[in-house]
Structure formats: C-alpha cells, structure tokens
C-alpha cells in the first residue's frame, strides 16, 4: 500500500453575492433571523454557471497548486447532487474542460457528504496503486434545486466547488477515512428525480424537482452522527482529539459546529468556519474551506486535520489527514 498525499487544493464560486437582506424579496425572512440561526451572512448564486463550470474552475486551481499537468491525472471523481446532465457525468465534462484525457471519470452521489466519499474513493485508488494522480472534486449548484418560495431551505444554500489533487507519496497524508449511510432517513432531506413516464405507465402528478428538508431532524442527526464518526475515526488511527489542530466540518450551520464542539468538549476555535460567506454549498463546503485554510497559511507541515461531512441519504463520513503539502 502507498501513502496518499493532498498535493494541491482549489476552489471556485460564482461571482454573484446574495446577502441575507436580498432574500426578503422572495420570502418572509430577515438578516437577523438567518445570521442568528445559521451564521450565514451571504452566499454565492450562479448567474448561469452550471456545476461543471464551477468544478472546472476549482480543478484548474488545484492542478496549478499541485504543480502538475492535466495529462498526469488518471482519475477524476466529482461528488455532486446537482449534475449538469444525467449523462455524461460531470467528471467527464471536467475531463474535457481541463483536457485530462488519461483519466477515468465518474460522479458520486452522497449529497453533502459527497466530498468525503469521493476522497475515500481517490484514497483507495491511489493507496492500492491503481491510480497515481487523482483529481477529487466536490461541486454543487444548489440554486437550481432550491424552492425559492420556501424560507426553510432557500436561506441556507449557495453554489460552489472545491478540489484536491491526490498523489502517491512516501510521506503520510490521508491516514484513515470513516463513512456510513442510513437509507431509512431518506425523507429527511431529499430532492425528487424524474417520474417514471412511458407508454406503459399511467402518468403520475409531476413531482417538483425541489429540495425538501426536515430542518430539526437533520440538525439532530448531524449533531449525533458527527461526534460518532470522528470518535470512530480517531480510535482506528490511534490519535486523540488533543492531537488534532483543526476540525473542518461540512458548513451547514454554525450552530451545528458549535453543538458538536460542545458535545465533544473541543475548543470551538479549532473548528474552521467560512459559512458566513458561502452558506451551504453541499459537496463544495469542505474542499472550499480547505483551500481557504491552505491559501491563508493556516496549515503547517505535520498538522493533523479532521474533515467531517453529513447530509442527505442519510450519509456521513470523516477523514484524518496529516498535512504534508
Ligand atoms: N426566516 C424567518 N423565520 C423563519 C425562517 C426564515 N428563513 N425559517 C423558519 N422560520 C421560522 C419558523 O417558521 C418558525 O416559526 P414559528 O415558531 O412561528 O413556527 C421559527 O422560525 C423557528 O423555526 P425552527 O425550524 O424551529 O428554527 P430552528 O432554530 O430549528 O432553525 C434551521 C431552522 C433550518 C436553521 C435548523 O433546523 C437547521 O439548521 N437544521 C439543519 C439544516 C441543515 O443543515 N441542512 C443541510 C444538511 S446537509
């Protein structure tokens, strides 16, 4: 087995900034409610860019940061629940956009946990020797599946993408990844697909392709499952909470991060937050924040980081990473 390092990070978000107050044009809400209940102040919303455009932007920055050429990439995995098309995959669109024609490309659907799942796939491919250089992307254009008349959801989400380049290495990098799913929670957070409609099936009512969420239950689920996955992750890798420099959680709600910190008795200062600027970009939140931490000089060689995600499915997962970039 090989060691697997994160060699480069990148992110890309739409230019258009939508502040909380602007949302009161669509729904009965205000900045005070959104900020105090979620920590969100503004989010980026597409002016026409689709998920592949965001993913390509993030990929280009990660490739440059890793100091590699696109033809060295032999695997592209995109985590998204808002692909441009049912087919081709967003990963194939990224391949064309960055001209990485030596890569095998596919998408992964695990909602807001998508980046952790995709990272795990890349980790296993590189670790086993099947891949040498993998591009792993989390990208979502949530604005196209949000019901802009539903104040319970439309205030929470934004659009954006982040990427990492993984490479075979002699030094430690990704140490361990823990993932889990519970399909019994399918109705807590979902977005319908296309109805079965053909000459042999009676037409059903057209389902609206909008996201639906039971906010209270999702809050309860996330604050339960995140401590569990982190504890499992650390147990398997023989490190303790005190060894970890930063916890980078999926940015869904600042109150979720605070509740997890309190439950685990960890100083909230160790939890990196950028939710105020972007809201919840689903599979994009973790790699966007990782790129920000990297560019901001927060990460030093040998630092230990825990990344943790949760979301629709239900799904969850966490990764322990030693920063050796
Ligand atoms: N603006 C103003 N008022 C709003 C509102 C909004 N955008 N959204 C809901 N409200 C109202 C509710 O209607 C309710 O009013 P009522 O008391 O008159 O019925 C009140 O605010 C409280 O709503 P409640 O749902 O109890 O708020 P909350 O403190 O639970 O916060 C969430 C709601 C959605 C922010 C919170 O439950 C949450 O973050 N859940 C997790 C969501 C998540 O992370 N999803 C993605 C996971 S990947």
**176 flagged as catalytic:** no
* Residue 231 sits in the same domain as residue 151: no
**Which segments within the chain are labelled E, that is strand?**
3-12, 17-19, 42-44, 75-79, 104-108, 133-141, 159-169, 174-181, 189-190, 212-213, 246-249, 304-311, 315-322
Annotation marks residue 195 as catalytic: no
Q: Write out the DSSP string of 101-153.
A: TT-EEEEE--GGGHHHHHHHHHHHHHHHTS-SEEEEEEEEEGGGTS-TT-HHH
Q: Which of 155, 171, 187 is the last residue of a domain?
A: 171
| Mean pLDDT within 185-204 | 88
Q: What pTM value is reported for the model?
A: 0.96
| Interval between CA 114 and ligand 1 midpoint (Å) | 24
154 is an active site residue:
no
> Which residue puts its alpha carbon closest to atom 40 of ligand 1?
215
Q: How far is the CA of 186 from the centre of ligand 1 (A)?
A: 20
**112 and 190 housed in the same domain:** no
* 317 and 199 within one domain: yes
Within this chain, do residues 240 and 99 fall inside the same structural domain, yes or no? Answer: no
Greater confidence (36 vs 196) lies with 36
State percent of the chain over pLDDT 90.
Answer: 94
Q: Could you identify the atom of ligand 1 that is nearest to the CA of residue 213?
A: 45
At which of 171, 194, 218 does a domain end? 171
**Do 193 and 228 have their domain in common?**
yes
61-79 confidence digits (pLDDT tens): 999 999 999 999 999 999 9
Question: With the C-alpha atoms ordered 272, 276, 280, 281, is the resulting torsion angle positive or negative?
Answer: negative
The two three-digit tokens of residue 55, written as one number? 């993913």
CA of 214 to the centre of ligand 1 (A): 9
Answer yes or no: is pLDDT of 207 > 70.
no
The C-alpha angle with vertex 259 and arms to 258 and 263, in degrees rounded to 5, equals: 120
Question: How many angstroms separate the CA atoms of 138 and 163, rounded?
Answer: 6
Please tell me whether residues 70 and 11 are part of one structural domain.
Answer: yes
Summarize the confidence of residues 214-224 as an average pLDDT. Answer: 97
Residues 167 and 180 in one domain: no
For residue 291, give every residue at least 6 positions away whose Cβ sits within 8 Å of its Cβ, in sequence order, or none.
Answer: 9, 10, 11, 58, 61, 62, 162, 163
**Phi, psi for residue 25 in degrees, rounded to 5:** -75, -25
Q: Which whole-number Å values give the CA distances from 255 to 86, 196, 245, 246, in the listed order?
A: 34, 39, 20, 17
CA dist., res. 147 & res. 209, Å (int): 9
Per-residue confidence (pLDDT) for residue 199, from 0 to 100: 87
Nearest CA to ligand 1 atom 9: 152
Structural domains of the chain, count: 2
CA 166 – CA 132 distance, rounded (Å) = 8
* Mean pLDDT to the nearest integer, 118-147: 98
Instruction: Name the residue range of residue 236's domain.
Output: 175-322
Task: Give the residues surrounding ligand 1 with Cβ less than 6 Å away.
Answer: 29, 33-34, 37-38, 112, 151-152, 155, 213, 215-216, 218-219, 252-253, 280, 311
Q: Is the pLDDT of residue 212 over 90?
A: yes
Q: Whose C-alpha lies nearest to ligand 1, atom 33?
A: 215
- State whether 129 and 225 are in the same domain: no
Distance 30 CA to ligand 1 centre (A): 12
* Predicted local confidence at residue 196, as pLDDT: 84
Give the CA distances from residue 90 to residues 63, 98, 136, 276, in Å, rounded to whole numbers and listed in that order.
17, 12, 12, 28
Residues 35 and 163 in one domain: yes
Pairing of strands 17-19, 212-213: unpaired
Supply angle C-alpha 36, 38, 40, rounded to 5.
95
Mean pLDDT for all residues in the chain: 96
CATH number of the domain within which 179 lies: 3.40.47.10
For the stretch 227-268, pLDDT in tens is 999 999 999 998 999 999 999 999 999 999 999 999 999 999
User: Where among 171, 199, 223 does a domain terminate?
Assistant: 171
Catalytic residue among 112, 176, 253, 277: 112
- Same domain assignment for residues 83 and 218: no
Q: Give the nearest ligand 1 atom to 216 CA.
A: 37
193 and 153 in one domain? Answer: no
Q: Which of 176, 250, 253, 277 is catalytic?
A: 250
């Amino acid at each position: 087995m090989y060691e697997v390092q994160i060699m480069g990070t990148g992110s890309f978000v739409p230019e258009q900034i939508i502040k909380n107050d602007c949302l009161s044009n669509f729904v009965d809400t205000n900045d005070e409610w959104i900020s105090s209940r979620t920590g969100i102040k503004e989010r980026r919303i597409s002016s026409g860019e689709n998920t592949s455009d965001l993913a390509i932007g993030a990929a280009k920055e990660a490739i440059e940061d890793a100091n590699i050429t696109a033809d060295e990439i032999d695997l592209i995995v995109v985590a998204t629940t808002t692909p441009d098309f049912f087919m081709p995959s967003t990963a194939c669109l990224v391949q064309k956009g960055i001209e990485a024609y030596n890569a095998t490309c596919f998408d992964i659907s695990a909602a807001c946990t998508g980046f952790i799942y995709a990272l795990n796939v890349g980790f296993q491919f590189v670790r086993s020797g099947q891949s040498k250089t993998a591009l792993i992307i989390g990208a979502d254009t949530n604005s196209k599946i949000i019901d802009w008349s539903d104040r319970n959801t439309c205030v929470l989400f934004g659009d954006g993408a982040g990427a990492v380049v993984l490479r075979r290495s002699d030094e430690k990098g990704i140490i361990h990844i823990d993932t889990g799913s519970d399909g019994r929670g399918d109705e807590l957070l979902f977005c319908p697909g296309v109805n079965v409609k053909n000459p042999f099936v009676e037409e059903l009512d057209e389902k609206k392709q909008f996201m639906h969420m039971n906010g209270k239950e999702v809050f309860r689920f996330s604050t339960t499952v995140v401590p569990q996955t982190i504890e499992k992750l650390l147990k398997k890798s023989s490190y303790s909470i005190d060894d970890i420099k930063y916890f980078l959680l999926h940015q869904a709600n600042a109150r979720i991060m605070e509740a997890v910190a309190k439950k685990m008795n960890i100083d909230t200062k160790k939890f990196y937050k950028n939710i105020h600027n972007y809201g919840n970009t689903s599979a994009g939140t973790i790699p966007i924040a990782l790129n920000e931490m990297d560019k901001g000089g927060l990460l030093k060689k040998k630092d230990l980081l825990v990344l943790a995600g949760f979301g629709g499915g239900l799904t969850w997962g966490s990764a322990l990473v030693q920063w050796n970039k």
